[in-house]
Each structure stands twice: as structure tokens, then as C-alpha cells.
Chains A and B, each alone.
Chain A
């Protein structure tokens, strides 16, 4: 899969099925998204993508990502599970500034387009907020 794929700007994003074909070189990492009502969905995503891209490719509800990952919209807000906060690290300054535009920011709040998927995040759990805005 091309690394430079800009998902939200194509009117017809490739179907997620295409990406589940395991590429011999790609390493897949498991990420779990928990909805406000408790429903959880675990997806497999390729390292190097962002958590936002993994969410969009798998049609996770509640991740809007209006700006396509440019850290310019704050509509990909998630709460990183406490156990994973060390591994995901803290938001950079630009992301902190953009979090000002998110609603109900808490400890563990991140813009998930700014979290790159690596082996270290295998099993990552994030919660989707009740509203992006």
C-alpha cells in the first residue's frame, strides 16, 4: 500500500478489504477502539500509518479527521488508555495547541493522526469521545 495515500481527499477511498491482504514485508499491529457506549473494535493496521488512518480504513465511528491528518482540525480526538500513555508519549506543542479546539480534553487526550503505529503499540487501546465537536 502506498505510504503517501491521502485517504479523506479521494471521493472513493479504496475499500478496506484491499489492505487486509497481508503484505509480506508489512507488520501488522493490533489497535482497539472503544466507543462511548462501551462497544469495542479491534483492528489490524500496518506499521507506519497513523492511528487515525487505521481508524478511517476500518470505518471506526466517531473519528472524523476532517483535515486528513494535518493536525489542523482536532476532529480525530481520542483518549489513550492509561496503560498505554507512556508508550504513545505526550502530545507535541503543535498538537497541544490544536487540542484547545477539541471538546472535553482530559488526561490521555491525543489527536490520533499524530500517533504513528509501531510494534511498540501492539495492543494499544484508545477511547473515542462522545462528540468530536
Chain B
């Protein structure tokens, strides 16, 4: 599992620019760049449907890239063994001819229908899209930071407990505590040390998974007493009205109370359904209900493929999601090109398909 990496200031700059120039108009929006979302781009592309792809993560691959990039998959047809990352790389190569546009580090928050039948979608970075069809390929849902199960933590979130920092300046003058031992914890330790009133890094052991050069830099700051390193685990929060004042930390020598007005816990990511639940789509146990002819939801023009959907007999397998993408694309074609007749073609023999693929 990877950590969330700090979002640089440039990320929000790009999003603002996009927002100010009006909505992006496209044939299809694919929500989620996991294997099924990526292959959907291919199937749509063969039918001349152009896609924009949005994902919360900073790169393509969904679960395959985030949870098991190095691990082997044995049941992708014709690939006796392929790692999560290899599969992602190959899909990216396969869809290249269709020039999909990716919007990483953004989450689709809202989805609604316009008067002209198209869909308006908005991201958390305020990018807007207008699309003729929507393909929800949101997998297990949004990757979200894990919340430490500390009593009452919810009331501090967003006020003094943060899972990411957009602007370093907002952290100035705080007694900052960072919890964790991966790249996010170390990167933020290095980034925030200069503005903090005090900075304590808490980790359960004196070993760090983070990149060795960051660990080295952190150790140096500890030596200079700029940063305090505490080996232990946070067991309690102290504060009022959402504002933290102290933390209890269990260490080898007992429980210690340390001053803290801002805490950043980094315990990796987990998948939560997230905004998908709020779009008025019929759900079956937190999965989107679809038919098995078009993989369409209860909203005409909104499709759901891959791990996020459910129908009788559903298997959460990559190969099932690929099949779902192919059938979905046929149905999407009827919406994007209502007047065009769709001819069934093979990539092996169709010169028009081969032209699109750039091999002719």
C-alpha cells in the first residue's frame, strides 16, 4: 500500500485554470482509472467515443497499482502471469491510440443531468465536465485516508486533525504531531518542520519504510533538535470544540502527554464508497445495480462496470470488468451517435478499426 503523497501547490493551480475556462465537454467521462476504467477507454475508443478519465489517485491502475503493484495476477486471459503494475502499464499502452485525457488527484463529487440530457460532473478541485455518457468504474470506491480509531477523532477532523495539507502556511506556529513511518509522514515532517512551533514525529518503531534519503534528513533534524522523534503509539486526544491541545502517547516507558494543536496521521488508504452513494443510483449492498445487457444503471446514460457494480452472478474479477466494458460501449454508442448504425467488427480484419488503433 502506498501513502498519499503531498499535493503540491501546482495541482490546485491547474484545477483553478480549468474551472475558470468553463466546463470540459466530452463524449464520455470515466470515473476511476482502475483496470476496468482503462479498458473502457479502449472499447469506447473503438466506437469513436472520446473519454476523459478522472481518478483520486495520482496515477492509473486503481487497486492493481495502489494495493498490489508487485504481486502476480494469474487469471487475466492470455497473460499466464502479470503483476498489477505490468497490467496497468499494458492497458495504458493499449489505450494510447485513443488519447484519453487524465485528471488525476481529483475526485468526482457531484453528478447531475442537464436539461439537454447531458451530465454535469464536478470534482473536488472544481473542474467541471459536460458529458453525453458517464461510466462509473469506481471499483471499491474512493481511496481515502485511514482514520485512526481514537475516541472522538471525528470532531477534530478538518480543524486540528488533517489527512493532507493543501497550504503549508496554515500550519505555521502550530505544535504539530505527525504519526506514521512511510513517505507521507516523512515528507510532511521535512516540509512542515520550518513553519512549526514544535514538530513531533511519532512512529511505533525506530524503523522507517520511507525513502532512505528522507529518513536521513529526518534523523538530521532530530539531531539538531528541530524535530522530536517519539517511538510509541497515540492512545488518546485532548482538546475542546474541535481544537486539539494534547495527545497521550504510549511509549516503552509509560504514557506521555505531549502538546499538540495539529495532528497529521498517516496510516495508508482504504476504499470507501464515497460520493458515488449520493448520485441517486440504485444500490445493492453498496454496489451499483446494473443490467447485464448494457451494464447501465437506473439512470439512462450512466453505466457502471468493474468492482463497483452488482448483478446476479457478479464476480469481482478483472476479466469480468473487461467484458462489461465491451457491452457498455455498444450501449453508449447508441446515446453518443443516435443516428449511426453500429456495425459489428473485428480488430483483426476491420481496416477502419485498425486505422483508429494506428496500425494501418
Tell me if A105 and B68 are in contact (CB < 8 A): no
Within 8 Å by CB of A9, from B235, B270, B315, lies B315
**What residue of chain A has the Cβ atom nearest to residue B185's Cβ?**
A100
**What residue of chain B has the Cβ atom nearest to residue A100's Cβ?**
B181
Q: Is residue B278 contacting chain A, with contact meaning CB distance below 8 A?
A: no
Q: Is residue A66 contacting chain B, with contact meaning CB distance below 8 A?
A: yes
Q: Is residue B310 contacting chain A, with contact meaning CB distance below 8 A?
A: yes
Q: Mark B181-221, 1 if CB is under 8 A from A, else 0.
A: 11000000000000000000001110101000000000000
Size class of the contact patch on chain B: 20 to 34
Question: How many A-B contacts are there with CB distance less than 8 Å?
Answer: 58
Tell me if A103 and B149 are in contact (CB < 8 A): yes
Tell me if B147 and A11 are in contact (CB < 8 A): no
Q: Bound complex: CA of A119 vs CA of B270, how far in Å?
A: 34
**Number of residues on chain A facing chain B (CB within 8 A):** 22
Within 8 Å by CB of B315, from A10, A70, A72, A104, lies A10
Q: Report if A133-B270 is in contact (Cβ < 8 Å); known contacts: A70-B71, A105-B204.
A: yes
Main secondary structure of the interface of B (DSSP, over half): loop
Main secondary structure of the interface of A (DSSP, over half): loop
Tell me if A73 and B233 are in contact (CB < 8 A): no
Q: Is residue B98 contacting chain A, with contact meaning CB distance below 8 A?
A: no
Q: Is residue A131 contacting chain B, with contact meaning CB distance below 8 A?
A: yes
Q: Is residue B317 contacting chain A, with contact meaning CB distance below 8 A?
A: yes
Given the complex, which residues of B lie within 8 Å of A133, measured CB to CB? Answer: 146-149, 267, 270
Q: Bound complex: CA of A22 vs CA of B238, how far in Å?
A: 54
Chain B contact residues, CB within 8 Å of chain A: 1, 67-68, 71, 146-149, 180-182, 203-205, 207, 209, 233, 235, 267-268, 270-271, 310, 314-317
